[in-house]
């Protein structure tokens, strides 16, 4: 486990403090551990769609080729998509 060397100071209202302490106690955690765990989970969720993926040029070119190629659907799927839905059927 990495050694904790950094600090983060927060200001909060007495009611916010009470809620956090009560929630931490209900989980058997210290308030610091409780807040840290939830803050990191929230931060990871916020960053999930903002990740940068680095690939080799060849892999990028292959992805671009696949995305640019015309799609090919099985005949049954094409037929299904060409068939009017029940909502499109004449009355």
Q: pLDDT (tens digit, 0 to 9) for every residue of the chain, 91 residues total?
A: 789 899 999 999 999 999 999 999 999 999 999 999 999 999 999 888 787 778 899 999 999 999 999 888 899 998 998 888 888 877 6
**DSSP-assigned letters across all residues of 14-37:** HHHHHHHHHHHHHHT--HHHHHHH
Closest C-alpha to 34, from 46, 19, 12, 14: 19
- For residue 65, the SS3 value is helix
pTM for the predicted model, two decimal places: 0.54
Question: Residue 35 CB: number of other CB atoms within 10 A?
Answer: 18
Alpha-carbon distance values, 90 to 7, 76, 82 (Å) = 68, 23, 15
Instruction: Locate the domains of the chain by residue range.
Output: 16-68
């Amino acid at each position: 486990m990495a050694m904790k060397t950094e600090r983060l100071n927060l200001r909060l209202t007495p009611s916010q403090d009470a809620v956090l302490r009560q929630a931490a106690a209900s989980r058997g955690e210290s308030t610091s551990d409780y807040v840290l765990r939830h803050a990191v989970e929230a931060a990871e969720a916020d960053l999930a769609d903002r990740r940068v993926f680095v690939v080799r040029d060849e892999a990028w070119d292959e992805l671009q080729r696949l995305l640019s190629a015309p799609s090919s659907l099985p005949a049954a799927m094409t037929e299904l998509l060409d068939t009017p839905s029940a909502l499109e059927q004449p009355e």
